[in-house]
Chain A
Amino acid sequence: SQTIHQWPATLVQPVGSPLSLECTVEGTSNPNLYWYRQAAGRGLQLLFYSVGIGQISSEVPQNLSASRPQDRQFILSSKKLLLSDSGFYLCAWSPTRTSGVGNIQYFGAGTRLSVL
């Protein structure tokens, strides 16, 4: 079965420090990968998605970047964190082909990032 791992679960970082959040998927090949940010109790904002190694698409301009060095590894980074980067970050994966049943995304447990 497929599983998605996201870490760390909680992170407190000072303003101006770097960031690296990691997400890995097991049990599938060539998944589509996504990074979302979620405001408290609200909907998800798509930040980045990737359809293959080294292929990253950014949805919104921001202080963050993403990389996919391996097929099932997705990394969210920042060189210098801002206060506004605080939030709940979610990684998700979906099968490359949905066979007409609609795109289903499977989410990690999330990372609560606090920038102080």
Chain B
Amino acid sequence: TQLLEQSPQFLSIQEGENLTVYCNSSSVFSSLQWYRQEPGEGPVLLVTVVTGGEVKKLKRLTFQFGDARKDSSLHITAAQPGDTGLYLCAGVWAGGTSYGKLTFGQGTILTVHP
């Protein structure tokens, strides 16, 4: 079973602070996605990374895929209350036939206080 360990599980910070969420595994993933979910809604894709060492930026969000494609991080600069939500990492396992199935991390609940 391929697992994605996501940390921290909870993060409560003040507006303007920086934060990093981590997603780690002992398995290699062919790609990794980050989703953001608000209460009562489905997850919405933020980014996909597919190349080891890849870095992508989306405004104040920076995503990195580890060189060995076993881990990823999400860094938010100058967090705002609108960033509050559940952040999920998910990956496609590189081994075997997965039919595009995603393995999800446990999620990080981020709360940004004004």
Contact = CB atoms under 8 A, between A and B. Distances in A.
Interface stretch (A14-22, A66-74, A76-84, A97-105): A97-105
Nearest to B86: A41
B43 A102 contact: no
Given A41-B107, A103-B102, A112 B48 contact: no
Interface residues of A, number: 28
Interface residues of B, number: 28
B100 A32 contact: yes
B33 A104 contact: yes
B5 to A, nearest CB: 11
B106 A43 contact: yes
B109 A109 contact: no
Interface of B: 6, 30-33, 40-45, 48-50, 86, 88, 90, 92, 98-102, 104-107, 109
17 contacts: A34-B101, A41-B107, A43-B6, A43-B106, A44-B102, A44-B104, A90-B43, A94-B100, A98-B100, A102-B30, A102-B32, A102-B33, A102-B49, A102-B92, A103-B102, A107-B42, A109-B42
